[in-house]
Amino acid sequence: MKTACGKSFPREALKQGGLIVLIALAISLSVNFIRSGGLPLLPSPSSKAAANGSRSSDEPLVTMEEARALFLAHGAVFIDARPEQDYRSGHIQGALNLPANSFDRALPSLQTRISPDAFLIAYCDGEHCSLSREVAAQLVANGFSHVAVFLNGWTLWRNAGLPVAKTR
Partner 1 sequence: MNSDWLKSRPVKYLFLSSRLLLGAVFVLAGADKLFHPGEFAGIISNYQILPDHLVNIAAVVLPWLETLVGLLILAGWWLPGALALADSLLIVFLVALGLAAARGIDIDCGCFSLNPTGAPNFVWYLSRDLFFLLLGGAVTAQTLIRSSGNQRVPETT
- The distance of closest approach from Cβ of residue 69 to partner 1 in the complex, given in angstroms and rounded to an integer, is 25
**Distance from C-alpha of 72 to C-alpha of 76, rounded to nearest angstrom:** 9
Interface with partner 1 (CB under 8 A): 1-3, 5-6, 9-10, 12-21, 23-25, 27-29, 31-32, 37-43, 47, 50-55, 83-86, 99-102, 125-131, 152
- The distance of closest approach from Cβ of residue 81 to partner 1 in the complex, given in angstroms and rounded to an integer, is 11
Per DSSP (E only), the strands in 1-155 are: 77-80, 91-92, 96-97, 119-123, 146-150
- The distance of closest approach from Cβ of residue 161 to partner 1 in the complex, given in angstroms and rounded to an integer, is 20
Burial of 80 (0-12, 13-18, 19+ CB in 10 A): buried
Q: Which CB, 92 or 152, lies closer to partner 1?
A: 152
Q: Which CB, 21 or 72, lies closer to partner 1?
A: 21
DSSP code for 77: E
The partner residues of 78 in beta bridges, in order of sequence, read 121
Q: Which CB, 35 or 74, lies closer to partner 1?
A: 35
